[in-house]
C-alpha cells in the first residue's frame, strides 16, 4: 500500500477566479512520480474556522497534508492561525524566522513582515538543500506558500523524503466507444489484484478513441492486466501501447 496525501489550497482569490490555481496539479504530478497517492484535494477560503476543520480532518486520515497559500504578511493570511486552532496550540514567533525577516526587511515594512515569523507552537523548520527561507511543518502538515515559483523551489528541496516504491503504468489507445470496452475493463479488475484502470474518451475527428491507463505498484500485475486486455481485443482496434 502506498502512502497517501491530501492537498489543501487556501485562498479567496482561487474561489473567486481572480487567480488560476495550478499548485494542486503540480503537487499531484510530483507526488505520483514519488510513489505517493493523492487521495484528497480541496480549495477553501481564507477562513480560520474552515482551515482548522479541514486540516483536523485530513491530518488524521492521510499520511501527508500539503497546504498552499495564506502565509504572507497581510490580514487575510490566516493559515498559521488555522493550523494552530485545529490542534489547540498557540501561535508563537519563531526566533530563527524572526532573525531572517529582520535581516531582509527595512524598518518601514518589518512590522508587517514579522507576521511571517509566526508558527504553530511545536512546529518544525525544514532547511534542506540551502532553502533561503525554511519550510514550516506541523505534525504531518507541510505548509507551503501560494506563489507557484516559491512553492516549487521548496518542494524540490524536500521531495526526496517522500520517495517510495514507484507506480508502474501502461497506456493503451484504442478505436472504440467507452461503453463497448467497459465490460472487459470490469472483468480485468475482477481477475487481478492491486491495480487501477482508467478510461478516458478522446475527442477526435475520425471516430471514437479511448486512452486506457493501467497502474499499480506491482509491475507484474500491471503487465498481466495489459496482456489480458490485449488478448481480448480485436488487434485492429489497438492504435498503440505505451
Q: State the pLDDT confidence band at 193, using cuts at 50, 70 and 90.
A: confident
Determine the angle formed by the axes of helices 178-191 and 219-231, rounding to 10 degrees: 130
Q: State the pLDDT confidence band at 198, using cuts at 50, 70 and 90.
A: very high
Residue 96, number of CB atoms within 10 A of its CB: 12
**Quick one: average pLDDT of 8-16?**
97
Closest CA to 40 of 1, 80, 8, 13: 8
**What is the reported pLDDT for 164?**
94
The Cα–Cα gap between 194 and 216 comes to 6
Q: Residues 51-104: pLDDT tens digits?
A: 999 999 999 999 999 999 999 999 999 999 999 999 999 999 999 999 999 999
**What is the reported pLDDT for 106?**
87
The ranges of the chain annotated as CATH 3.40.980.10 are 4-162
Q: Structure pTM?
A: 0.93
**Quick one: average pLDDT of 106-110?**
85
Q: State the pLDDT confidence band at 230, using cuts at 50, 70 and 90.
A: very high
DSSP state for residue 167 in the 8-state scheme: P
Dihedral sign (CA 103, 105, 111, 113) = negative
Using the predicted structure, report yes or no on whether residue 1 has a pLDDT greater than 80: no
Neighbour-count burial of 135, counting CB atoms closer than 10 A to its CB (0-12 exposed, 13-18 middle, 19+ buried)? buried
The Cα–Cα gap between 134 and 119 comes to 12
Q: Which CATH class is domain 4-162?
A: alpha beta
Q: Which CATH class is domain 168-241?
A: alpha beta
Using the predicted structure, report yes or no on whether residue 38 has a pLDDT greater than 90: yes
The ranges of the chain annotated as CATH 3.30.70.2860 are 168-241
In angstroms, how far apart are the furthest CA atoms of the chain? 73
The Cα–Cα gap between 130 and 88 comes to 32
Q: 3-class SS at 37?
A: strand
Amino acid at each position: 500500500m502506498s502512502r497517501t496525501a491530501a492537498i489543501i489550497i487556501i485562498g479567496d482569490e482561487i474561489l473567486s477566479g481572480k487567480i488560476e490555481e495550478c499548485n494542486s496539479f503540480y503537487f499531484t504530478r510530483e507526488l505520483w512520480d514519488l510513489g505517493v497517492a493523492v487521495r484528497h484535494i480541496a480549495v477553501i477560503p481564507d477562513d480560520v474556522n474552515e482551515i482548522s476543520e479541514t486540516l483536523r480532518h485530513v491530518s488524521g486520515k492521510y499520511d501527508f497534508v500539503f497546504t498552499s497559500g495564506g502565509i504572507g504578511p497581510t490580514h487575510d493570511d490566516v493559515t498559521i492561525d488555522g493550523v494552530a486552532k485545529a490542534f489547540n496550540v498557540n501561535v508563537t514567533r519563531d526566533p530563527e524566522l524572526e532573525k531572517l525577516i529582520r535581516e531582509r526587511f527595512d524598518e518601514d515594512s518589518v512590522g508587517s513582515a514579522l507576521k511571517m515569523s509566526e508558527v504553530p507552537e511545536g512546529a518544525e523548520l525544514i532547511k534542506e538543500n540551502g532553502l533561503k527561507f525554511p519550510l514550516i511543518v506541523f505534525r504531518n502538515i507541510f505548509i507551503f506558500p501560494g506563489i507557484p515559483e516559491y512553492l516549487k523551489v521548496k518542494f524540490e528541496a524536500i521531495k526526496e523524503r517522500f520517495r517510495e516504491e514507484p507506480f508502474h503504468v501502461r497506456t493503451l489507445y484504442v478505436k472504440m466507444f467507452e461503453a463497448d470496452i467497459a465490460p472487459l475493463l470490469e472483468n480485468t479488475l475482477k481477475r487481478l489484484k492491486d491495480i487501477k484502470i482508467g478510461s478516458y474518451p478522446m475527442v477526435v475527428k475520425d471516430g471514437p478513441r479511448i486512452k486506457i491507463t493501467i497502474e499499480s505498484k506491482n509491475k507484474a500485475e500491471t503487465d498481466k492486466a495489459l496482456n489480458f486486455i490485449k488478448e481480448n481485443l480485436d488487434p485492429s482496434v489497438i492504435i498503440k501501447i505505451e
